[in-house]
Structure 1
């Protein structure tokens, strides 16, 4: 293909499309129709260039032009505040609410496991001896020991960022690895339950269980709830691999996967809040009742948000999946 001849033949259409894109918000009916028509033509031109003569300079001109034209024709939904509002008020709570049986079950598994481990560690000195040397345990559990000073071991802002990052990776692991039949999710959940149970058991054996709950409760309620939601979503995804219901496995995983992606974004916000509480409230000089009260308020706000908005969205038929217009095409499976 002669590039110079191709450019000469279509330059006027490209220039006209660029002009219409610049005025996209002020176009009249005939001009809007012209925009759509030229967008289709120039998109075809771009395909021809890519296939027949991928000239870098011409591709550099047509690719961004077609992208801007596409945004002008379809609308910039990704940056729409209305879209953000729909996500927060409808899609996110619907997705979390729809998986409530899974994350409640994950929470029960965690709490029962952690409680049994804590009771076992607290009541058996031999078990404690296998965990760490006596001096190490005293260093952890004594007044002013490592367990208490951990929450003030770094500047609050730095500590909050570190905690948020660690917890976000943990939640992401539960969500992403759920497709592996949920097995890694169970491992992550049980590992963290054992970790919390051991710490609680050691503090209880030292007669300082009240200090444990006074430090863990303010941020731990919201943080653990986010972990339960992530684990429940991952387990739900893993079960879909086993039993996709009345649809194809690929379609079921795609639908639930899009919903889980939204949950991941929402949990990042939730974990940011819990991280701020852990950095600024947990080690603060506030009375224990005040610190726990802040944690209870944060937990109640999140659960109320999920139950109220989620129930309403679910009753309206929403599942947390994206609108059909943005879900993409589905290939027919052989069968």
Structure 2
């Protein structure tokens, strides 16, 4: 191979790649047109091949070093830039995408919420009317602690907060994922999870109410419940979306409906997980803390719920796009 002729033929590509990289490094990806981005990727692959050839030929160390520098810069901008774009996409999803999918699928979340509150009302009513109903829903040890000792069970969390918090997160995520996956049973298991959890809360509400512990109980529930319960409702809505694809595909073929509604369900799941992690931390460290006054816990929970409502109503404007 004639080294000088090869260098003369390839040098324009190296100079062009260097110019594009300089522009990218100074002004960022948005400064390049789509054609220039494609050219950058093509030139990077070409120069990487030139570097490999230069290493096998009797080429000066200076040229090899320059080509190595070019490929390193190109790799950094192309691949690390891609990772930055991925992180930007994640940021944009939580900033705008999740609120948008919550609004789009709100009717399904509302249905799941209604199932939960139906169970809650039924559990509360039957527990008041029939004391034996409590033992069918609530663990006997918990009933005994409230009735016989006149105290709530949350004190067991104090002192083992990290362990309790992680256990709470795992349990809540399991419940939520069960509600989502329940959609493949045409929504039957999703409905069961929503109604059963409502029954459980309703029965416990009756138990603590009958033993004059309602105020501290709800003070415990409010802080983390402001995120935990909506997350479970979103999960129920995601399960009902999958159920709709199976039962009522409408204008879609069933497979296409599963892809369409399943994608919406997955977006909800991506938003649910951080909510449950934050709720688990609050439930482990904040909600049972005896130092924090109960009125402040109520205010904290209410404030957190208001922030969630405001967040879910965020809309991307032309200035943000």
TM-score, normalised relative to structure 1? 0.67
Partner of 1:105: 111
Partner of 1:26: 21
Distance in structure 2 (CA, Å) of the matches to 1:132 and 1:86: 42
Partner of 1:87: 93
Equivalent residues of 1:120, 1:201 under 8 A apart: no
Match of 2:304 among 298, 302, 308: 298
Partner of 1:238: 243
- The structure-2 alpha-carbon separation of the partners of 1:169 and 1:137, relative to structure 1 and needing over 3 Å to count, comes to closer
Equivalent residues of 1:77, 1:83 under 8 A apart: no
- The structure-2 alpha-carbon separation of the partners of 1:24 and 1:158, relative to structure 1 and needing over 3 Å to count, comes to farther
Match of 1:187 among 189, 192, 214: 192
Distance in structure 2 (CA, Å) of the matches to 1:132 and 1:94: 37
- The structure-2 alpha-carbon separation of the partners of 1:293 and 1:245, relative to structure 1 and needing over 3 Å to count, comes to same
Distance in structure 2 (CA, Å) of the matches to 1:34 and 1:138: 71
- The structure-2 alpha-carbon separation of the partners of 1:160 and 1:79, relative to structure 1 and needing over 3 Å to count, comes to farther
Distance in structure 1 (CA, Å) of the matches to 2:193 and 2:139: 26
Partner of 1:12: none
Deviation of 1:256 after TM superposition, in Å, equals 2.4
Secondary structure in 1 matching 2:212: coil
Matched, 1:177 2:187: no
Mind listing any 5+ residue stretches in structure 1 that lack a counterpart? Answer: 1-18, 43-67, 317-335
What pairs up with 1:119-268 in 2 under 5 angstroms?
119-128=125-134, 137-141=143-147, 145=151, 147-152=153-158, 155-268=160-273
- The structure-2 alpha-carbon separation of the partners of 1:236 and 1:151, relative to structure 1 and needing over 3 Å to count, comes to same
Secondary structure in 2 matching 1:247: coil
Equivalent residues of 2:20, 2:40 under 8 A apart: no
- The structure-2 alpha-carbon separation of the partners of 1:194 and 1:24, relative to structure 1 and needing over 3 Å to count, comes to farther
Partner of 2:53: none
Deviation of 1:37 after TM superposition, in Å, equals 8.1
- The structure-2 alpha-carbon separation of the partners of 1:258 and 1:36, relative to structure 1 and needing over 3 Å to count, comes to farther
Distance in structure 2 (CA, Å) of the matches to 1:135 and 1:83: 48
Secondary structure in 2 matching 1:80: helix
- The structure-2 alpha-carbon separation of the partners of 1:136 and 1:77, relative to structure 1 and needing over 3 Å to count, comes to closer
Relative contact order (alpha carbons < 8 A, sep ≥ 6): 1 or 2 greater?
Answer: 1
What is the root-mean-square deviation in Å for CA atoms of aligned residues? 3.9
Distance in structure 2 (CA, Å) of the matches to 1:186 and 1:80: 35
Deviation of 1:38 after TM superposition, in Å, equals 8.6
Distance in structure 2 (CA, Å) of the matches to 1:268 and 1:259: 15
Aligned pair count? 271
Distance in structure 2 (CA, Å) of the matches to 1:205 and 1:267: 34
- The structure-2 alpha-carbon separation of the partners of 1:132 and 1:73, relative to structure 1 and needing over 3 Å to count, comes to closer
Deviation of 1:143 after TM superposition, in Å, equals 5.3
Distance in structure 2 (CA, Å) of the matches to 1:137 and 1:33: 70
Partner of 1:36: 42
Deviation of 1:148 after TM superposition, in Å, equals 3.4
Equivalent residues of 1:164, 1:271 under 8 A apart: yes
Matched, 1:274 2:279: yes
Distance in structure 2 (CA, Å) of the matches to 1:156 and 1:239: 40
